[in-house]
Amino acid sequence: MSGFSQVPQLRFLAVDGPLAIGGAARRMAYWDWPAAAGADAHRVVLCVHGLSRQGRDFDTLARELSLQARVLAVDVAGRGHSDWLADPMAYQVGTYVADLAKLIMHLREQDPAVRIDWVGTSMGGLIGMALAAQPAFGLRRLVLNDVGPVIQWEALLRIGTYLGLNPSFGSEKEAADHLVAISIGFGPHTPEQWQALSRPMLRERDGRWWLHYDPALALPLRALTDAPDQAAAQQAVKDGEAALWGLYDAITAPTLLLRGAQSDLLTPDTARAMTVRGPRAHCIEFAGVGHAPTLVAADQIAAVRDCLLAD
């Protein structure tokens, strides 16, 4: 595959809202892939990862897209190089939306002519929906990767079995093998691809290897999945669907919906509804993949590229 091979630069943006651990002002990290020579200087693609991941998930996609655009891949609060939150219950989509809104405003201050597209995987897609529903942010095109307004309760339970357990490992290989085991829904990958997806998720400390996110980010999810009244918790999730559909129906930007054919988070029924409501997303399914496509395979990259960079 062709691609722009430059290594991205790690940048930080001061953000408002909940404070970092210790009561300090907070920074959000993002990886900045500059556009190749001759590319459109006013075109930016913002990439935002899933619940427990980080911005380097988009390395392969960013190398390809940076032939034609600047690509920014964010570490959402509590993940990667972004600061951890002092209040774990602030690990909510509302916090993330405010953080990314600040980044969008920062980009527009730098370049009033900037045109911004969005690629969001799972949680990153929910953040993108909230921003795309507000015309003031001016998102040009939207890619939702295996996520929609309906979140399956069973998928939340599955995620809750591993999120925030804070395991440590005696070697990088042992840690990477653990990540592969809990990421089976990503579908088939080569050993090299698994290594590329796993290595940025890990940090070595005192001779042990740890996952590179705040384990406390699991607390808001556990407040739901471990609630004494499970019927009420499930109803709360259902009640949230109406608000999410309201956001989705308000989106006017051209939207591409990607779905793993075996996804347990985005059902076929929800995907079909998304093609006839709101922006009437164009849906592409990938066989042999669950939740969620990693945007590493050539056909997945081509789908995103053709949507965002066709003109």
DSSP state of 2: -
Q: What is the pLDDT of residue 4?
A: 46
Distance, CA of 212 to CA of 204 (rounded, Å) = 9
* Number of domain units in the chain: 1
Q: Is residue 157 part of a domain?
A: no
Q: Is residue 216 part of a domain?
A: no
Q: Rounded to an integer, what is the distance from CA 104 to the centroid of its chain? A: 16
Q: What is the pLDDT of residue 227?
A: 86
Q: What is the pLDDT of residue 117?
A: 98
Distance, CA of 50 to CA of 59 (rounded, Å) = 14
Q: Is residue 98 part of a domain?
A: yes
Kind plus residue range of the DSSP H or E element containing 143: strand 139-145
Judge whether residue 226 has pLDDT over 60: yes
Residue 148, token pair as written in the block: 């929609």
Q: Are 44 and 116 in contact (CB under 8 A)?
A: yes
| Per-residue confidence band for 2, with pLDDT thresholds at 50, 70 and 90 | very low
Q: Is residue 3 part of a domain?
A: no
Average pLDDT over the chain, rounded to whole?
95
pLDDT digits (tens, 9 = 90+) for 284-304: 999 999 999 999 999 999 999
| Terminal C-alpha separation, the chain | 21
Percent of the chain topping pLDDT 90 = 87
Average of per-residue pLDDT across 128-156? 96
pLDDT digits (tens, 9 = 90+) for 235-278: 888 888 999 999 999 999 999 999 999 999 999 999 999 999 99
Question: Helix, strand, or coil here: 33?
Answer: strand
Burial zone of 192 (CB within 10 Å; 0-12 exposed, 13-18 middle, 19+ buried): exposed
Residue 93 belongs to domain with CATH number: 3.40.50.1820
Judge whether residue 3 has pLDDT over 50: no
Judge whether residue 311 has pLDDT over 80: no
| Per-residue confidence band for 309, with pLDDT thresholds at 50, 70 and 90 | confident
* Full domain range(s) for residue 28: 9-150+244-308
Q: Is residue 298 part of a domain?
A: yes
Q: What is the pLDDT of residue 1?
A: 39
Q: What is the pLDDT of residue 238?
A: 85
Judge whether residue 219 has pLDDT over 70: yes
